[in-house]
Copies of this chain bind each other. A is one copy, B any other.
Amino acid sequence: MANIKYEIQQSFGVISEGAKGWKKELNLISWNNRDPKYDLRDWDEQHEKMGKGLTMSKDELIKLRDLLNSMEL
């Protein structure tokens, strides 16, 4: 991961907390100085180490929201 630059431009919230303070978060992140994307991912407390996750566009996030709202959870 050493060569990846990232800037967390906005934090929307925490989805869950795991072991050792790791948190699954939804953020708006610019990777390698590119346009920011919505990003769902595990982070350590200092936002230095990251786990697996995925990036989404705004359209994908809207679709995901509508999908979740249509489900019985």
Q: How many copies does the complex hold?
A: 2
Quick one: CB contact mask for A39-73 with B, threshold 8 Å, 1 for yes? 01100000000001110111111111101111101
Q: Check B71–A69 contact: CB distance below 8 A.
A: no
Q: Known: A16-B59, A59-B16. Is A64-B68 also a contact (CB below 8 A)?
A: yes
CB distance from A33 to the nearest CB of B (A): 21
Among A15, A40, A53, A63, max chain B CB count under 10 A is at A15
Chain A residues proximal to chain B, CB less than 8 Å: 12-16, 24, 26, 40-41, 52-54, 56-65, 67-71, 73
**A–B Cβ pairs within 8 angstroms, 10 of them:** A12-B67, A12-B71, A13-B67, A14-B63, A16-B63, A24-B60, A52-B54, A61-B73, A65-B69, A69-B69
